Amino acid sequence: MRITAPLSIVLLALTSLPAISQSPAAPQAPPMGWNSWNYFAGRVNDADIRAAADELVSTGMKDAGYVYVNIDDTWEGERDVHGELHPNAKFPNMKALADYVHSKGLKIGIYSSPGPTTCGGYAGSLGHEDQDARMYAAWGIDYLKYDLCGYIGEVMEKQAPDDKAAQMRLMMAAYAKMGQALRSTGRPITYSLCQYGWDAVWEWGPSVGANLWRTTGDVTPTWDRIYAIVSQQEGLEKYAGPGHWNDPDMLEVGNGKLSLAENRTHFSMWAMLAAPLLAGNDLTAMKPEIKAILTNRDVIAIDQDRLARQGARIYSDGEVEVWTRHLSGGALAIAVVNVGSDRYAPHPFQLSLTKLGLAGPQTGKNLWTGKTVTLTDNMPLELASHDLLLVRVDKPAR
Ligand code: GLA
């Protein structure tokens, strides 16, 4: 579901809000880490978060760049007479948990909503934004995912029924409020907006202090959903850059029934999109082949490239798509993806280097075999269903 508003409305709304600068210490490359939702959902507890932190270290994922351990929805308990929100029984001591995560050299993230309730029906931050932000800072929180949910029905639709433009202004004001509250704490807290890509959030996200913003509804561990999300990223390239990123949602690598090819393609395309890499699998039961995907340093280097330029789909031919991403030092990443579920047309697919603006043979590294590969114009490529060829060319010939 994507609701778009004309740019004039967006700009009108923006002029009525003070611009909030982003966290000064925000990382310049997309955040990498782990989030509890995709695997644990409402079951997550303190022990799961500690175990995830332990596993990030013992699996080598931390060394590969995964530093955030993010608690998603369902940690929230009740507010006391002073309005202070207490975690529920699953999280007996949040400060101690944050200290534990920090002791591993990792960072910790948390979740809330601008509404009275979260998507899971737990307490949100409405009317308590500054108090909650101060509490996060006191706990040592490094990242906040702020999820619209309860704010839609309780505030936007009640205060501005049938007026989408006014609803949007309310929403932006709510995000700006928490952005300001986080900044006022003086603690660098990465600010992640989760409002499903509504109202062209990529145009105004930075102005409310956001470092990243969801561009779509929820991911699921299915090829169709993952491919739909990839397709929805077209045209958003210009909104990504150092310190601010489009967020096509968290990783499902290792979840559900995704095949190895699908896991590889999912991970590769998130890297091509300069997306946050937040693993969402059960790290305590991770198979070696899943670990190998999540820790592929060459693919991670594409994601974390310092230019932070998001890749784009250059052309498609039948069910084969060709994406490129410009990297620092003039390098180029090329992803050729067979998105078809059976045989693909045309058969065989022939790679056009000319359409990529390249001239003559291109020698690079196949990032999934580690081998040197030379791409030539119109070379036939056989790709299995949902698999891809991902090549980094350090010195493309044009
Ligand atoms: C929404 C978000 C998800 C997750 C859940 C938690 O659906 O989009 O990523 O945070 O809420 O309730």
Q: What is the pLDDT along the chain (398 residues), one digit of tens a residue?
A: 333 444 344 444 444 455 676 555 567 999 999 999 999 999 999 999 999 999 999 999 999 999 999 999 999 999 999 999 999 999 999 999 999 999 999 999 999 999 999 999 999 999 999 999 999 999 999 999 999 999 999 999 999 999 999 999 999 999 999 999 999 999 999 999 999 999 999 999 999 999 999 999 999 999 999 999 999 999 999 999 999 999 999 999 999 999 999 999 999 999 999 999 999 999 999 999 999 999 999 999 999 999 999 999 999 998 999 999 999 999 999 999 999 998 766 678 999 999 999 999 999 999 999 999 999 999 999 999 999 999 999 999 99
CA of 147 to the centre of ligand 1 (A): 7
Residues contacting 68, CB < 8 A, separation 6+: 31, 32, 33, 34, 35, 106, 107, 108, 109, 142, 143, 190, 278
Check: CB of residue 368 under 8 Å from CB of residue 390.
Answer: yes
| 72 Cβ below 6 A of ligand 1 | yes
The rounded distance, in Å, linking the Cα atoms of 357 and 362 is 12
Do 266 and 235 meet the contact criterion of CB atoms below 8 Å apart? Answer: no
What was the pLDDT predicted at 26?
Answer: 63
Phi and psi torsions of 27, nearest 5°: -65, 150
If one residue of 37, 112, 220 were mutated to test the ligand 1 pocket, choosing by the most ligand atoms within 8 A of its CB, it would be 37
Which of 182, 164, 161 is CA-nearest to residue 172?
164
Of 39, 70, 73, best ligand 1 pocket probe by most atoms within 8 Å of the beta carbon: 73
Write down the pLDDT at residue 345. 67
Q: What are the tokens at 324?
A: 């490129």
Look at residue 236 in the predicted model and tell me its pLDDT.
98
Q: Which helix (H) or strand (E) holds 135?
A: helix 129-139
Neighbours of 80 (CB within 10 A): 9
What's the confidence (pLDDT) of residue 22? 58
pLDDT for 395 equals 98
Which H helix or E strand runs over 151? helix 150-151
Per-residue DSSP letters for 69-134?
A: EE--SS-EEEE-TT--EEE-TT-S-HHHHHHHHHHTT-EEEEEE-SSSB-TTS-B--TT-HHHHHH
pTM exceeding 0.85: yes
The pLDDT of residue 1 is: 37
Kindly state if the Cβ of 76 falls inside 6 Å of ligand 1. Answer: no
Buried b (16+ CB within 10 A) or exposed e, 245-272: bbbbbbbbbbbeebeebbbbbbbbbbbb
pLDDT confidence of residue 342: 81
